[in-house]
A = this chain, B = another copy of it.
C-alpha cells in the first residue's frame, strides 16, 4: 500500500502537546502504559498510495494565496478562485491526468489525489479545478479523440481555454438519459445544430458558465437521419475573447448558492447554434459526413453508460475530499475538546475537559473511526480507478465494478461528511459557529456533494440494482426444482434466523454472559459475518419480494419496485459499509507495529460495532443477535470509547494536518492558553488571600 510513500518529518503542529506535556491525557498509569500508535506510520497509511502527491499538494497550499477568505462578496470570491486556478497551472498541478504530450503526467491516481487535498484550502477551489480539468477537460480527453486532444487539451490544461461541463439541465439532473437539448446533424453544411427546445432543457448549475467559460462540452440527444442515437457530447464555443456570448448562446447566473460561492455556476441555452461535425467528441460514437452513424458499442444503453463511466473520476474525488474534510472537522473538534473545560464534575473538583465526558466521547470517537475507514476504502477505490484508466486493468468487468464502487462509496462519505462536520460544529458550541473556525464553511460548501455527480439516493439505487442483478445470476438457467428448493431454503432460513431456534439457543448461552464473553463474540470474524450476512439477507429478501414483478405489467412491476425502493437503498448502504469495513481490516492486516495494531484494531472495532449498533433492530428482527447480546453492543462501544479516549489526539494528529491546513483558532492552542491564564488567575487570587469567600461557605459557617 505504501510503496510510493516518502517518509516525512513529523509536522510541527503547535497543537500536538496541548497540555504542555503528554500529547494525550491518560487518566491512569495503566492507561499511560498502554500501546501507542506510531503517528508517522499511521499518517503514511492514511495518505495512502499517492502520499507523495498529497504531500506535494499540501505543501503548495500552505501559501495563503490558496486559502478561503470568509465574507468575500460572491464576485470577489469567484475572481479569487479563478486566480487560484492559474496558480495551480503555474505550480504544475493542473494536468497530472493528461498525456505527457499535452503537458500532463499521465498519472490518473496522482491527479485525483492531488486535487482532493485542495479541499483543505477552499472547497470552491477543489470543485472549480474539478470542473475545468476533471469534467470539461476530461470530457475532451475521455470522450474525444486525438484531433480533439491536439486542438484543445493543452489550452485546457493551461487555463487558456476555461470551460463548462454542460450535462445537467434544469429539468433533468441525475436522469441524464432524458435531457432535452438536441444536436441535429445537417449533412448539407456538415454541422450539428445545438438547440434548447424548452425552458426545462436549459443547462443549469454549471460551474464556469456564469462568467469564465469560453466553451462547453454540451451533452445533447444526437439526431441524424431522423433517428435519435441518444446522449452524446459536443464541444461548443460559448463566449468570445471579450467574454460576450456568441450568437445563439444565452444564459444566466445561478446567483448565490448555499456554499461553493467561489464558483460561477450558471445556466446556458442554445438557439440553433451550429458547430462543425468534427466537434462531436467521437470516441464512442461518430457521424460521417453523409450523416450515417457508427459506434463500436452496438447497444445504446451500454454505450450511454460507457460514456458516463468515462467520467467517474468526479465521484471519486468527492469521496476523497469528503473524507479529508471529515478528518479536518474531527481534528478541530477533538483538539478543542482536549483543551476546553466546562462544568466541574462535582463539588470542589476542577472543571472537566470536554473529551472526558461520556457523551462527548460517544460523539467524536466513532467519527474518527469512520473517517479512518473511509480513507482506507478510498485508497482501494483510487487504486482500482488508476488501474482501469491507466489501461492496466481496463476490462468491462473492472469498469462496471469501478462504477458500482463509486456509486456505493460517494454517497456514504459525502453524507458522513455533513453529519460529522455538523456534529463537530455543535461540539464546539458558539465557537463552532464562527466562520474563522472553519466548520460552518465546510458544511456549507460540502452540502451539495450529496446531490451532485449523481444524487446519493439514486447512486445507491444503482448499487442496489447491481446487487439484485448479481443475486439473480445465481439462478440463471436454474430449473423449477432448484428455484423451489431455494424458496424453501429461504423460508427455512427466515424461520431459523428470524423467529426461534438460533436466537433461543443464543439466549440461553448468553444468559449468564459477562461483558468479556460478549466482547469475544464481537471480534473481527463475527463483525464481518454480521455485516456481510446483512447485505446478503436484505438482497435476498428484496429479490424474493420482487420476483413476481417479472410477470407483471410495467406499471404493476414499477409499483412493486417502488414498495421496495427504500429497502433496496438500505441494502446498498449496507454493502458500502461492508466495503469500508473490509478496507479498514485489510489495512490493519498490513500493520507491523504492535502498538499501532492494537489501537487501530480498537478503532476498527469501534467502526464495526457502531455500524452494528446503528442497525441493531435489523439484527434482532432477523435473529442474528439475541436481545442480551444486542444490549451488550452499546456497552462494548462505551468501553471502546474509554479505551480510545487517551489516543484521540494521536489519532487525529495522524492525519498530518499542519497549522496552515487547519487555520481554526480554536484548534490552535489559543483555548489552552486561555484555560491556563484563567487557572493562573484563580491560583494567584487564592494565594493572595484576597479571594472572596462563596456565599455557600458563609451559609455553612453561620450554621455552625
Contact = CB atoms under 8 A, between A and B. Distances in A.
Nearest to A622: B627
B674 A171 contact: yes
B498 A343 contact: no
A396 B115 CA distance: 61
A258 B558 contact: no
B74 A300 contact: no
Interface stretch (A2-10, A249-257, A531-539, A652-660): A249-257
Interface string A59-87: 00000000000110110000000000000
Interface in A198-225: 198-201, 204-205, 221, 223
A432 interface: yes
A634 B675 CA distance: 49
Interface residues of A, number: 115
A199 B677 contact: yes
Contacts of A441: 258
Contacts of A71: 73-74, 255-256
A198 B627 contact: no
Contacts of A348: 554
A190 interface: no
Contact of A256 (B70, B554, B681): B70
Interface in A577-614: 613
Contact of A620 (B617, B694, B696): B617
Interface stretch (A122-130, A355-363, A372-380): A355-363
A274 to B, nearest CB: 18
Interface string A615-628: 01100111100011
A175 B343 contact: yes
Copies of this chain per assembly: 2
A439 B444 CA distance: 12
A229 interface: yes
A441 B257 CA distance: 9
A451 B433 contact: yes
Contacts of A457: 359
A43 B524 CA distance: 55
A694 B444 CA distance: 42
Which of A73, A628, A695 has most B Cβ within 10 Å?
A695
Interface in A226-272: 226-230, 254-259
A695 B563 contact: no
B223 A692 contact: yes
Contacts of A1: none
A505 interface: no
A300 B695 CA distance: 7
Interface of A: 70-71, 73-74, 168, 170-175, 178, 180, 197-201, 204-205, 221, 223, 226-230, 254-259, 300, 342-349, 351, 356-359, 362, 418, 422, 425-426, 429-430, 432-436, 439-441, 443-444, 447-448, 450-452, 455-457, 461, 498-500, 503, 507, 511, 554-555, 557-558, 561-566, 569, 613, 616-617, 620-623, 627-628, 630-631, 638, 673-675, 677-678, 681, 692-696, 698-699
Given A198-B674, A345-B558, A621-B627, 5 more contacts: A258-B425, A259-B433, A346-B555, A349-B558, A425-B447
